[in-house]
Structure 1
């Protein structure tokens, strides 16, 4: 069995793709050790600051210097482990069977039937599912091995493409771009502000993507620049 792949019984034909256990353990250990090192350095810095006749933040430094030596590295390690939990919570888990695709990330679950997915592909570090109307069903950050993901989709009969079949239709967004549905430019403007301020993982950026999809607009990001295309919706927005 390949690393990071959990296979159910043949009757279930269930494949679960997630980060390998060894990689998750390495993340925890790295963050815990880094946290301990930072805690140790903070203790040394505090001890040095309190010896100076004057220095900024001497009050906090005195408080930190009064803490017994082992506790700051321990606190740093705990903080590192908490960051590890956050990182694990944000990892994408893919559950595949012959009749559905299920994506789990940040406590959010999305499920798509086999018939709803026209094609799936990787766009850089993102997994994208496209519906039969050309609209994107989802676009998720995915650090899983591309070959493993492609093989698992093919094994369960889900259509997989090596590239975006609509790549040539994307155009870079500029304010008041022509050809967009009414209201889309305003949403893209708001989304651009959130994208520049918070980055592509921000909730507002994601929510505005979904609002644009209701108008028949697909949007993707490259270096905090927005690219768009339209699609003909098969049902009401």
Structure 2
């Protein structure tokens, strides 16, 4: 692989502005709408939970608006923490999301592609080096990687035909992989994204690449196990 310089792909300034300004504004608007909505519901004799609605009706407007704005600010913070920043050079690829940073040696990267909304980096043996959800511009990502010498696959995952649907006690998996997939299934069912990601990493160590489709897990083996 050859290439030089460094390319950064990140969300644009206006996207950050929308998150940090739009969140509090939207939250304040919801807070402002709470009181008239509560008054309307409280006036309906057949409506349940009259107590909470009457209580909301009695709260000053500025309190509701302030609480809504703070909730919107918290939401904006979560959105900002989930934004991916990709720094690409011939020497390494750095993926940053909030406080999490993944640095991958450029010499280890075989191919790069988008699998739906996921940015995927594979090693020469087909091992998954990274798989990150992203809304970054596809063209900008492609140009950053190709300009620094990486192989970008426009057609997506070259191993898409190798995946098999996982069911419990599937034969052919390395020792320990089935238990990890069972644990990952439980994590998916409770929407525990941190555990889902951690268990995916553990599966990669065993030579198993997993992909998800509508809460189903599909797996394939890498050449190096």
- CA shift, 1:165, in A, is 1.8
| Residue 81 of structure 2 is aligned to residue 89 of structure 1 | yes
Show the counterpart of 2:19.
27
TM-score, with structure 2 as normaliser: 0.88
1:18-76 CA-partner distances (Å, limit 9, x unpaired) = 11111222233433332122212222233445667786545444543333222312321
For structure 2, list consecutive stretches of 5 or more residues without a partner in the other structure: none
Match of 2:159 in 1: 166
Q: Which residue of 2 aligns with 1:224?
A: 215
Structure 1, unaligned stretches of length 5 or more? 1-11
Q: Does 1:67 align with 2:62?
A: no
Task: Give the match's secondary structure for 1:112.
Answer: strand
How many angstroms does 1:122 deviate by?
Answer: 0.6
CA-atom RMSD in angstroms: 2.2
Q: TM-score, normalised by structure 1?
A: 0.84
1:202-213 equivalent positions in 2, closer than 5 A: 202-213=193-204
Count of paired positions: 221
Greater shift, 98-107 or 66-75, is seen at 66-75
Query: SS of the residue aligned with 1:227?
Result: strand
**Residues 230 and 67 of structure 1, relative CA distance in 2, 3 Å threshold:** same
Q: Distance in 1 between matches of 2:144 and 2:124?
A: 21
Structure 1 residues 51 and 166: alpha-carbon distance in aligned structure 2, compared to 1, 3 A threshold: closer
Q: Within 5 A, what are the aligned runs for 1:84-163?
A: 84-162=76-154, 163=156
Match of 1:45 among 37, 42, 46: 37
Q: Residue 108 of structure 1: CA displacement?
A: 0.4
Q: Is residue 183 of structure 2 the alignment partner of residue 190 of structure 1?
A: yes
Larger relative contact order (Cα-Cα within 8 Å, sequence gap ≥ 6) = 2
Question: Equivalents in 2 of 1:138, 1:114: separation in Å?
Answer: 12
Q: Which moved more, 1:24-33 or 1:224-233?
A: 24-33
Counterpart Cα distance in 1 of 2:157 and 2:38: 54
